[in-house]
Structure 1
Amino acid sequence: MAVYLRALVDGEFRWDGAAAVTGMDKDEIAQCRDELLVNRLLQLDTADGERLLPVNPEVAAARMAEPMEETIRVYREAVDTSRERLLQLMPAYLGRTVSGHVPGGLEIITDAAEVQLMVNQAAAKCSREMMTVQPGGYRDPAVLEAALPQDLAAVQRGVRFRVLYQHTSRTQLSMRSYVSAIVEAGAQVRTADQLAERMFIFDREVAFIPKRSQPHQAPGAVVVREPVLISFLCALFDQFWVSAVPFITDGPGYQNVSDDLRRSILDLLAQGLKDEVVARRLGMSVRTCRRHIASLMQELGAESRFEAGVRAAQFGLLTREAEE
């Protein structure tokens, strides 16, 4: 640094000037000069081949980086070429994925009994965390009774067990009994107005999602083991979980969720959806859904659904999406 700064003052590298500011002998100054040359901070004067002139550090840095950047460019081109060549095999890989099992990836199970068996086995092996999404309203009491011992065993061995249901499941007595038992053991249960699809995630390592590319497709499941997809599904669950409401079993069925449910009905009606679609989205029967709609229209003093939507917007009862 001292030799370079003195060269800036002198306008060139000088032995006597470098010796004056550093107190070093000629060999040590020569080492400094050579290092400055290697780092492109000194260069030969084109008019006088014996003079060494100081170089702008920005220019020196650019000259130092130029061969490295060329090397990087060559490697980048090689990477792009290799990637393009390898990605030509993706159609074959995806074709195999949708028709069978790929280790560490996806597995398609078409038999409902086999799906249930695999889910039960994964639950029995689960040691850290279990996340479940169960859309729909009414649950088969026999299924709840059969699931209770296994779910209690998981919680008792230290598994963090979180379950999401829809609000409409709160009115079912057998469901409230089941939830009360697992919550008392240490599980966490919440409900939301709408949920997308059924999903099971075990230890953030394996997940089960419906094998459904079209509505009302035959039962089956996709078993996911690919880490990136698992991470995405866990993030999706957490997003639903944050906005859901704790399931309270020692009170009225719709305690602390009635406003949420009513707003959801208004939002779906404002989107122009039919009663059957609204009922399916909220996990309730069409008859119950129509009873709620009639009650809302009466409270809003509306004679038509359109008028109910207008009044709901005026009262600020709709979400922004529904208003649009």
Structure 2
Amino acid sequence: MLELLGLSRVGEAVYRSMLANPRLDVGALAAETRLTERQVRTALDELADLALLSPVSGDGALRAVVSPEVGLAALLASAEEEAARKQRQIEQTRAAIAAIAAERSAGRSGNEIRRLDGVEAVRARMAELALTATRECMSMNAGAADRPDSRAASAPLNQQALERGVVIRAVCRESFRNDPETLAHAHWLVGLGGQMRTVPTLPMPMVIVDHRIAILPVNPHEAAEGAIEVDTPGVLAASCALFEHVWATGTPLGDAAAAGDDGCLPQERALLGIVADGHTDEHAARKLGVSLRTVRRMMSDLMERLSAQSRFQAGVNAAKRGWI
């Protein structure tokens, strides 16, 4: 418990025993703490080094134990001073990073498009932006579940940003709730102050940082191809507007998706729209981020509720009822 103060578990045990009975000698302390006399003597040296023992008169006598109100309080004050010093160093380092990033940005002209080739390049740039964000990070995440390595890389960056007061808003597909590890990570992020909502489908993945930089996929259907980074005002305005529209339709994490007055859930409505557009079940599964079996089960249930004998009839009946 007191390791932060430099006191080992053995040292703490001897210290507590001495506080309870200051008259114990080395042999009695060993019996009381179930330690060897050698361990007790080592612990006594440790306590002396930490100024938790004070000298007394008389040759060979044990030193008197210093009260916790004095001894431990002094150690805690020293630990707090060291922590404050390290925090100042961290803030100075963060300011230096921001200054270097600002110099780099100043060297770039506006209205640029920068290609980020591959997943690793995108991840590295996202780490840079997370460290320098000052206002808000908005993202649309089209994946049904996050990869463990992706979560591990982003978690400390998100935590640091939230601690700096950066607002984090994320929209994910409804299907991500089906992955326990991804869902647990989402609850952790929300617990730190982040905001998250889900929608049945997303038009594309994107990240917008401080309303000044947008990271957009080269190919919305293949993340491995990388992304482009843009700071063009027009593209940023369109990207922010798209995000706000999707955000407004999302269901906050922790709430269940609400059915409409017609009893149709948002994910079911999205499936009907996909089918009505003539797409296959396979396409619907990719779009919704669920398995082909789940799509077929949902479609079978919808056809029964719509009294339809075919997918085409289901689309017609859904349109008549105002479901799509």
> TM over 0.5: same fold?
yes
Q: What displacement does 1:158 show?
A: 0.2
How far apart, CA to CA, are the structure 2 residues paired with 1:262 and 1:147? 32
Alignment partner for residue 164 of structure 1, among 160, 164, 171? 171
Q: What displacement does 1:110 show?
A: 1.7
Determine the structure 1 residue equivalent to 2:194. 187
Q: What displacement does 1:153 show?
A: 1.6
Alignment partner for residue 279 of structure 1, among 280, 285, 289? 285
Work out whether 1:226 is the aligned partner of 2:238: no
Work out whether 1:147 is the aligned partner of 2:154: yes
Alignment partner for residue 142 of structure 2, among 130, 135, 142? 135
Determine the structure 2 residue equivalent to 1:315. 321
Determine the structure 2 residue equivalent to 1:40. none
Please list, as runs of the form range in 1=range in 2, the aligned pairs for 1:69-80 lying within 5 A after superposition: none
Alignment partner for residue 268 of structure 2, among 243, 262, 269? 262
Determine the structure 2 residue equivalent to 1:241. 247
How far apart, CA to CA, are the structure 1 residues paired with 2:121 and 2:143? 22
How far apart, CA to CA, are the structure 2 residues paired with 1:216 and 1:255? 28
Determine the structure 2 residue equivalent to 1:44. none
Determine the structure 2 residue equivalent to 1:12. none
Aligned CA distance change for structure 1 residues 285 and 138 (closer, same or farther; 3 Å): farther
Structure 1 residue runs without a partner (length 5+): 1-100, 319-324
How far apart, CA to CA, are the structure 2 residues paired with 1:197 and 1:160? 21
Q: TM-score, normalised by structure 2?
A: 0.61
Work out whether 1:177 is the aligned partner of 2:179: no
User: What secondary structure sits across from 2:322 in the alignment?
Assistant: coil
User: What secondary structure sits across from 1:207 in the alignment?
Assistant: strand
Identity %: 31
How far apart, CA to CA, are the structure 1 residues paired with 2:288 and 2:171? 13
Tell me which structure has the larger Cα radius of gyration.
1
Check conservation: 1:136, 1:282, Cα contact below 8 A: no
Q: What displacement does 1:129 show?
A: 0.6
What is the identity, as a one-letter code, of the residue corresponding to 2:258? N
Aligned CA distance change for structure 1 residues 311 and 129 (closer, same or farther; 3 Å): same
How far apart, CA to CA, are the structure 1 residues paired with 2:145 and 2:208? 22
How far apart, CA to CA, are the structure 2 residues paired with 1:223 and 1:247? 29
How far apart, CA to CA, are the structure 2 residues paired with 1:218 and 1:149? 23
Q: What displacement does 1:120 show?
A: 0.9
Q: Figure out how many residues of one structure are paired with residues of the other and give that number.
A: 213
Q: What displacement does 1:180 show?
A: 0.9
Q: TM-score, normalised by structure 1?
A: 0.61
Determine the structure 1 residue equivalent to 2:74. none
User: What secondary structure sits across from 2:258 in the alignment?
Assistant: coil
